[in-house]
Amino acid sequence: MKKALITGITGQDGAYLAKLLLSKNYKVYGTFRRASSPNFWRLQNLEIFSKVHLIPADLLDMGSLIEAVKISDPDEVYNMAAVSYVSTAFEQPVGNAEITGTAVTKLLEAIRFFNPKIRFYQASSSEMYGNSGTKIQNENTAFSPASPYASAKLYAHWITDVYRKAYDMFAVSGILFNHESPIRGLEFVSRKISNGVAKISLGLEKELVLGNLEAKRDWGYAPEYMEAVYLMLQNNTPNSYVISTKESHSVKEFVKLAFEEVGLNWKKYVKTDKKFFRPLDVNYLCGENSKAKSELGWYPKTKFKELVKVMVNEDLKRWKKFLNGEFFPWDAPMYPNESKIAGRQSLKKL
């Protein structure tokens, strides 16, 4: 039986990847951070909570990473942990550099000392391209990070490359474009919209306040992207791949489709507030996935329209269940209205 260690198993990708690996008969270990309130809802939602082996660890603490590698003695390590919300990285740039960036070296060192034969996956991001000025981004497009998050990810990307070349390790990065799902964090725009639309359609909320509606992203479906991640570590040779849908849509298009799904006109409910604009944003992303298609046999099945539909309907179903008094693992009722969060002032240009 193969063994895998997933850092960040409590997050969207970690949870979906754990489910996928369990279905392939892996013994799955996952790191979690001790929190004063439990945050295992995604593992419970996917019905795998009792099937994974949890190890307390923090990317900031090298000892805990060594311990995690030692306890799990894995064939494969998937580094999914990071400060993944770009706005937070603007608010806490130093912490982000340490967690999203340099911590990856700690993990690579732990692997190198314990067993350099372990295969390593680094969660790289399309944000590394920034505003590259290219119509479509592929594995050879120059990086031009536009946030502390993207800068930290780029460091992690290159250090993974260095360990592969210097120590002959099977260490690869997947350059994943945005991927969403009903278990996406509520602060990301896709889920903020699907949750907001569901609440508005049920009369629980009156408006949805957003930032930059013109930004364009290449949005795919997270569970499918985890299949690509898995395939990258089964490859004969270590290689980097772009994972994307090859379609680019604006936040405005997402909003419009989401409201249409519940029969409402978005213009009556959506407002914008400077608070949700970033000091620097990535305006346009669209990923070329032909290398993944030809070498991994991977291609996206769920495209933009279907993704919006799935997310809105799942949030609608949950709020209806909630209003009926049903209890189930879910995040939304515990989440504050973002407009009432006092911070984000620091995001203004000084």
Separation CA 148–CA 97 (nearest Å):
7
**Which of the residues 76, 127, 224, 261 is marked catalytic?**
127
Determine, following the binding rule CB under 6 A, whether residue 106 of this chain makes contact with ligand NAP.
Answer: no
Q: Write the single-letter amino acid at 53.
A: H
Q: Decide if 87 is catalytic.
A: no
Q: Which two tokens stand for residue 63?
A: 């000892």
Binding status of residue 294 toward ligand NAP by CB under 6 A: no
Q: What stretch of H or E contains 293?
A: none
**What residues between 111 and 150 interact with ligand F7E by CB under 6 A?**
125-127
The reply to whether 4 sits near ligand NAP by the rule CB under 6 A is: no
- From residue 226 to residue 265, the character string flagging contacts with ligand F7E as x (rule: CB under 6 A) and all else as - is -------------------------x--------------
Task: For residue 8, state whether it binds ligand NAP (rule: CB under 6 A).
Answer: yes
Options 4-12, 139-147, 192-200, 284-292: segment touching ligand NAP (CB under 6 A): 4-12
User: Bridge partners of 123?
Assistant: 174
Does 192 help bind ligand F7E (rule: CB under 6 A)? yes
Give the nearer residue to ligand NAP in terms of CB position, either 201 or 244: 244
User: Taking the complex as a whole, how short is the minimal distance between the CB of residue 263 and ligand NAP, in angstroms?
Assistant: 29
CA dihedral angle for residue 122, residue 22, residue 118, residue 155, rounded to 10 degrees: 10
Q: Does 60 bind ligand NAP (CB under 6 A)?
A: yes
The secondary structure element, H or E, covering residue 267 is none
Instruction: Assess contact for 171 and 156: CB atoms under 8 A.
Output: no
Per rule CB under 6 A, is residue 58 in the interface with ligand NAP?
yes
Q: Which residues in 262-301 contact ligand F7E (CB under 6 A)?
A: 276, 278, 281-282
CA atoms within 13 A on the CB side of 266: 22
Contacts of 40 (CB under 8 A, 6+ apart): 10, 32, 49, 329
Q: State how far the Cα of 34 lies from the Cα of 57, in Å rounded to an integer.
A: 8
Distance of CA 68 to the CA centre of its chain: 22
- Residue 127 falls in the annotated catalytic set: yes
Chain residues 121-160 in contact with ligand NAP, contact rule CB under 6 A: 123, 125
All residues at 6 or more sequence positions from 72 whose CB lies less than 8 Å from its CB, including other chains: 3, 4, 5, 29, 53, 55
**Which pair of tokens denotes residue 174?**
């997947």
Instruction: Answer with the entry of ligand NAP, ligand F7E, none that 280 interacts with (C-beta below 5 to 8 A by kind).
Output: none
Q: C-beta of 7: minimal distance to ligand NAP in Å?
A: 6
What order of strands is seen across the sheet that includes strand 119-125? 53-56, 27-32, 3-7, 76-79, 119-125, 171-176, 241-243
| 8 Å CB contact between 200 and 316 | no
- Give the count of residues interacting with ligand F7E (CB under 6 A): 22
Query: Could you list the active site residues?
Result: 125, 127, 149
Where on the chain is the footprint of ligand F7E (CB under 6 A)?
Answer: 84, 86, 125-127, 177-178, 187-190, 192, 210-212, 215, 217, 251, 276, 278, 281-282
Where on the chain is the footprint of ligand NAP (CB under 6 A)?
Answer: 7-8, 10-14, 31, 33, 35, 39, 58-60, 80-84, 99, 123, 125, 176, 178-179, 185
